[in-house]
């Protein structure tokens, strides 16, 4: 009480709502394509099979917000569970057995 000038509930949650709205509407950074080296790298990425799991482009679905509806985005992921064989870490999490990982995103590309 001595150190809190406004005892009681100080946060009505509006800040969290506003931050969520901000993050929802924030556009992805521009892709580096069109600058030669990035396109060459993307070609290698596709040619050696990385893009069979790391799908470069997906499309958003239905949304009440027109700007978010059916928009292409570039997650470099299929968001599926993959058996990674010898890369397995032995950790079991739900349906993900010892050698399986969920592909969430590419930390390098996304």
What CA–CA distance (Å, rounded) separates 66 from 62? 9
Q: Which stretch binds ligand HEC (CB under 6 A): 17-25, 35-43, 64-72, 97-105?
A: 97-105
Q: Is 71 in the site for ligand HEC (CB under 6 A)?
A: no
CB of 9 to ligand HEC, least distance (A): 38
Q: Is 53 in the site for ligand HEC (CB under 6 A)?
A: yes
82 in Cβ contact with 101 (< 8 Å): yes
Q: Is 48 in the site for ligand HEC (CB under 6 A)?
A: yes
Among 58, 68, 82, 88, binds ligand HEC (CB under 6 A): 82
Q: Is 49 in the site for ligand HEC (CB under 6 A)?
A: yes
Report strand pairing: 72-73 vs 81-83.
unpaired
SS3 17: helix
Residues near ligand HEC (CB under 6 A) are 48-50, 52-54, 82, 84, 101, 103, 105-108
């Amino acid at each position: 009480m001595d150190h809190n000038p406004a005892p009681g509930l100080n946060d009505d949650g509006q800040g969290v709502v506003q931050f969520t709205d901000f993050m929802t509407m924030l556009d992805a950074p521009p892709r580096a394509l069109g600058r030669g080296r990035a396109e060459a790298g993307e070609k290698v990425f596709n040619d050696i099979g990385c893009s069979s799991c790391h799908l470069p482009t997906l499309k958003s679905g239905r949304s009440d917000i027109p700007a978010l509806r059916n928009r292409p985005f570039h997650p470099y992921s299929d968001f599926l569970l993959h058996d990674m064989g010898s890369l397995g870490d032995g950790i079991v999490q739900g349906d993900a057995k010892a050698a399986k990982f969920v592909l969430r995103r590419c930390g390098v590309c996304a």
